[in-house]
């Protein structure tokens, strides 16, 4: 396994599309969401005040944070509830990991492009 990869040990069939799954990774706690059969991985805790995004409501490929309602596109990580585009901390996208399939059929994550500590990204459970 390459150093920039992390084998979750989970198979796609083990994920419940209705219950996103938090998982500790070398880059902090991430969450696995199933969107129309596709597995996407974003930081598990909200970039606002670290609300549990994996407990948020999911609709149309977007997750709404259960604490204050910030909404993010799960495929791009972009915040989508802003009335007009903004820059700065409020507009920072979620940290994401690319999800691939390992040799044994388990889900393998690739390191996020941005280091988590540089983006106010995932923390550990």
Q: Would you tell me which residues interact with ligand FES (CB under 6 A)?
A: 46, 48-49, 51, 65, 67-70
49 versus 115: smaller Cβ distance to ligand FES: 49
Minimal distance, residue 74 CB to ligand FES, in Å = 14
Name which of 49 and 125 has its Cβ closer to ligand FES: 49
User: Which residues, at least 6 apart from 66, have a Cβ–Cβ distance to it below 8 Å?
Assistant: 51, 52, 55, 56, 57
Rounded to 5 degrees, what are φ and ψ at 14? -85, -10
Minimum distance, C-beta of residue 87 to ligand FES, in the bound complex (Å)? 18
CB 29 within 8 A of CB 44: yes
Comparing CB distances to ligand FES, the nearer of 10 and 67 is 67
- State both tokens at 117: 């500590």
């Amino acid at each position: 396994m390459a150093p920039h990869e992390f084998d979750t040990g989970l198979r796609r069939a083990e994920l419940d599309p209705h219950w996103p799954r938090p998982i500790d990774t070398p880059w902090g706690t991430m969450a696995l969401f199933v969107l129309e059969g596709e597995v996407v991985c974003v930081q598990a805790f909200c970039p606002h005040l670290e609300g549990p995004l994996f407990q948020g409501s999911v609709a149309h490929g977007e997750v709404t944070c259960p604490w204050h309602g910030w909404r993010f596109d799960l495929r791009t990580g972009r915040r989508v509830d802003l009335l007009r585009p903004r820059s700065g901390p409020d507009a920072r996208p979620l940290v994401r990991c690319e999800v691939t399939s390992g040799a044994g059929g388990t889900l393998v994550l690739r390191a996020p492009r941005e280091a988590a500590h540089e983006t106010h990204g995932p923390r550990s459970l």
